[in-house]
Structure 1
Amino acid sequence: MNRIVVVGASAAGLASVETLRREGFTGTITLIGEELDAPYDRPPLSKQILASQWEPDRIALRTAEQLAALDLDLRRGVRATGLDTAARSVALSDGSDVEYDGLVVATGVRPRALAGGAGHVIRTLSDALELRKRLRPGTRLTVVGAGFLGAECAAVARGLGCEVTLLEPAPVPLAHAVGEPVGRMLSAVHREHGVDLRTGVTVTAIVDAGARLPDGTAIADGGALHPDGTATAHGGALLADGTVVAADEVLVAVGSVPNTDWLDGSGLTVGDGVVCDEFCAAAPGVYAAGDVARWHNPLFGVDMRIEHRTNAAEQGMAAARNLLGAGRPFAPVPYFWSDQYDLKIHAYGYLRGHDAVEIVDGSLDERRFLAAYHRDGRLVGALAVGMPPKAIRPWRQAIASGGSL
């Protein structure tokens, strides 16, 4: 191979190009990034950046000098618009085409939108900076979606003195990911910190002042309706029952969509991500990594798509090595973390689909515990809250060994 193209200039894409150089590839590497910013870290966007604890320069993944040392054909501010696997060519939004001998798809995801496409989202640095300008003491923020992103942003907003309403369609937030007992505990923490957490409610759209309800009725006085029917001069989140939760700002955090539209007609198999085998290969000479990749993890025996920062970097490295011929299955124990108020949450494994969860150390009441997750009698995950990272690290090897307790 003489030319490798990596589409996506975030953590997975950067890890890929660095690994290619580290493994001795001396040909041309083209790195394509839709954003004008140099590669940066995304987890701090909903934490330190939103809270104004850090400024943007602190989340840069590499310095300008480090990027220059990689000797890249770096294309910033352009996106991939098409892929011709027969011609081995990627079409770009500036009208150019880039030919490749090997390709890594690392285009990540985009926030899922609600009807009308209104409201804030947090995926990019500019998203986070725009929302943080608007969060002031007394600002009424409605967060739609109580997953990890929504919960983290709600916690930050409360710390900034905002009035926060958190809306979630499930009866227990995050139950699908961490189990009902842990989900209930986290819900209690938010309520104790003054968040108006409402579960079992469905948001159908974000509305502006002056909008109309589905039956054609104008929202009172050009504003929105509180659930009690009183009027205010603001828009908000329209619920399935026709009421509007009034807000000064609305953050939509209802999941994400893999960025695969540009692959239409390419011949690659797409299904909630780019479908890959255990080597992260999607087609001859084409690999995928990061949030956009759905691959078969032989350690757990299931296909998975992981939206965690650590996985993005590890998979970017694995895809690059396998593109160069390493032939090693990518079988990680996924890891993620979350900060909510003063709680530190760390987890290893693949917790989705577990059929049993057990508190093996500490207690939920104390907000300091370690939980073990099982599926079909096998240990598949462990989660620690309020405990030092070293308390959970030994569980990674136990999960990797397919152990049971």
Structure 2
Amino acid sequence: MPNSHITVLGAGFGALSSVRVLRKRGFKGRITVVAPRAELHYLPGTIWIPAGLRTREQLIVPLENFFRRMQVEHVAAQVTGLSDDARTVHTSSGMVQTDGLIVASGGRFIRKLPGIEHAITPCEGIAAAEQIRDRLRTMQQGTIAVGFGANPNEQSAVRGGPMFEFLFGIDEQLRREGRRDRIQLVFFNPSPRPGNRLGDKAVDHLLNEMRRRGIGTHLGHKMVRFEADKVVTEGGEFAADMILFMPGLTGPAWLDQSPLPRSPGGMVAADAHCKVAGFDKVYVVGDSGSFPGPDWMPKQAHMADLQAEAAASNLLAEMAGKPATRGFKVELVCIIDALDKGTLVYRTERRNLLLPPSRWMHMAKRGFERRYLAQYR
């Protein structure tokens, strides 16, 4: 396959892991990455920006060195669509012809809730976390509301874990600064037991931790709208001087200009091998895709890495005329951090483990970040 060409859409966790696996598996052909910037934005670290434990510069890794080592061609552009046979990628800077394709361009937040412009969505990027930091610095009293929603057509398309981290991290920060008694925290969610993908023990722990910290809850009521100073649900409303809200996820907008099949929630529909149904040599990983498996399958970087291993291996097999047979392990690994301590939640189809908060888990999360980013520097 020395003359073959593989194109990877995106420059996030799943995309970069796909590149590494392709080279590790001995692929000698061309690899093109289509992404607006040659940068990895390490969004898991944004939970530490409000407290000043991380800065923008620490969480953005330039990828020029990594691309050079991996012999990657970078097309600095937005994906705008695909040809009917998925062999031509349409971009904002022209067409890219390819023999094989890995879609790893991430998901898109569903911003349909009325008044959502009044809320900050932390995982939209580093700028959102900086906005939280700046608002917190000037806030002397009032109420901060923290919550998340889901995709009504695909309940697994949600990223709730970081919102618990922002909630507990802000609580700890305010206590350190002596302002917690003047600023109330309220957690809201349409489910009476938010975070159930983490497992029952984890949900019990999270709710108990909220009670222990004096964090109010507004649970089990469908959200209606946000206003500049309140959250409104079918079960009532409450005042909020700052709203942090993570909507559910759907697929990237460019899918509307592509032939790829989609799930009910708008993601690229894939099989257990990350292969896109009906297309040869086309695979999807991470938040862009919808995969068969348990309803608690996480939308997180670790899961994207596991899917990338399968997708890249299967693509190479298919290009060599062999069947795509490699699956991926469904594994949830989450350290819910609160600035000084972390709670480990681990889940597979056979096991569900929760380790109570400890300083060691906080340090492990920081250590993982350092090791993970080192491979791209």
Bin for the TM-score computed over the shorter chain: 0.7 to 0.9
2:145–2:187 contact (8 Å) kept in structure 1 = yes
Q: 1:329 aligns with which of 314, 317, 326?
A: 326
Q: 1:88 to 1:312 in 2, by over 3 A?
A: same
3-state SS of the aligned residue for 2:40?
coil
Q: For residues 33-74 of structure 1, what are the alpha-carbon distances to aligned partners after superposition, in whole Å with 9 as ceiling and x for unaligned?
A: 24x4601322222x2234321223333456642332222222
Matched, 1:258 2:251: yes
Matched, 1:120 2:112: no
1:86 to partner: Cα distance: 2.2
Q: Distance in 2 between matches of 1:97 and 1:163?
A: 52
Aligned residue for 1:293? 289
3-state SS of the aligned residue for 2:335?
strand
Aligned residue for 2:374? none
1:83–1:91 contact (8 Å) kept in structure 2 = yes
Instruction: Give identity over the alignment, percent.
Output: 24
Amino acid aligned to 2:11: A
Q: Distance in 2 between matches of 1:303 and 1:274?
A: 17
1:121 to partner: Cα distance: 0.4
Aligned residue for 1:338? 335
1:348-363 pair list within 5 angstroms? 348-350=347-349
Stretch deviating more after TM superposition (380-389 or 317-326): 380-389
Aligned residue for 2:136? 135
Task: Please list every run of 5 or more consecutive structure 1 residues that lacks an aligned counterpart in the other structure.
Answer: 209-234, 351-378, 390-405
Q: For residues 227-275 of structure 1, what are the alpha-carbon distances to aligned partners after superposition, in whole Å with 9 as ceiling and x for unaligned?
A: xxxxxxxx232233564x322221112432232x322363322103222
3-state SS of the aligned residue for 2:90?
strand
Q: 1:64 to 1:306 in 2, by over 3 A?
A: same
Q: Distance in 2 between matches of 1:246 and 1:318?
A: 47
Q: Distance in 2 between matches of 1:64 and 1:57?
A: 16
Q: 1:112 to 1:155 in 2, by over 3 A?
A: farther
1:349–1:382 contact (8 Å) kept in structure 2 = no
Task: Please list every run of 5 or more consecutive structure 2 residues that lacks an aligned counterpart in the other structure.
Answer: 150-159, 175-182, 319-323, 362-377
Q: For residues 270-324 of structure 1, what are the alpha-carbon distances to aligned partners after superposition, in whole Å with 9 as ceiling and x for unaligned?
A: 1032222222111201001112222345xxxx58853122111121122112111
1:207–1:237 contact (8 Å) kept in structure 2 = yes
Q: 1:21 to 1:52 in 2, by over 3 A?
A: same
Q: Distance in 2 between matches of 1:197 and 1:242?
A: 12
RMSD of aligned alpha carbons? 2.7
Q: For residues 3-40 of structure 1, what are the alpha-carbon distances to aligned partners after superposition, in whole Å with 9 as ceiling and x for unaligned?
A: 21111110000111122222232332221224x46013
3-state SS of the aligned residue for 2:314?
helix
Q: For residues 119-161 of structure 1, what are the alpha-carbon distances to aligned partners after superposition, in whole Å with 9 as ceiling and x for unaligned?
A: 1102222222222221235353211338322211111111221
Higher Cα Rg: structure 1 or 2?
Answer: 1
Q: Distance in 1 between matches of 2:305 and 2:196?
A: 27
1:21-36 pair list within 5 angstroms? 21-34=23-36, 36=37
Q: Which has the higher contact order (CA 8 A, sep 6+)?
A: 2
Q: Distance in 2 between matches of 1:386 and 1:207?
A: 35
1:153-172 pair list within 5 angstroms? 153-161=166-174, 162-172=183-193
Q: 1:109 aligns with which of 107, 112, 116?
A: 107
Q: Distance in 2 between matches of 1:307 and 1:54?
A: 23
1:120–1:252 contact (8 Å) kept in structure 2 = yes
Q: Distance in 2 between matches of 1:336 and 1:314?
A: 12
Q: 1:50 to 1:71 in 2, by over 3 A?
A: farther
Amino acid aligned to 1:115: P
Matched residue count = 324
Q: 1:188 to 1:37 in 2, by over 3 A?
A: farther
1:109–1:257 contact (8 Å) kept in structure 2 = yes
2:310–2:328 contact (8 Å) kept in structure 1 = no
1:80 to partner: Cα distance: 1.2
Matched, 1:316 2:308: yes
Amino acid aligned to 2:65: E
- Give the TM-score normalised by structure 1: 0.72
Amino acid aligned to 1:383: L
Q: Distance in 1 between matches of 2:75 and 2:262?
A: 25
1:87 to partner: Cα distance: 6.2
2:343–2:354 contact (8 Å) kept in structure 1 = no
1:4-403 pair list within 5 angstroms? 4-34=6-36, 36=37, 38-45=39-46, 47-60=47-60, 64-76=64-76, 78-86=77-85, 88-92=87-91, 94-113=92-111, 114-118=113-117, 119-123=119-123, 124-136=125-137, 138=140, 140-145=143-148, 147-161=160-174, 162-175=183-196, 177-179=198-200, 182-208=202-228, 235-240=229-234, 243=237, 245-259=238-252, 261-264=253-256, 266-271=258-263, 272=265, 273-282=267-276, 283-296=279-292, 306-325=298-317, 327-341=324-338, 342-350=341-349, 379-386=350-357
- Give the TM-score normalised by structure 2: 0.77
Amino acid aligned to 1:51: A
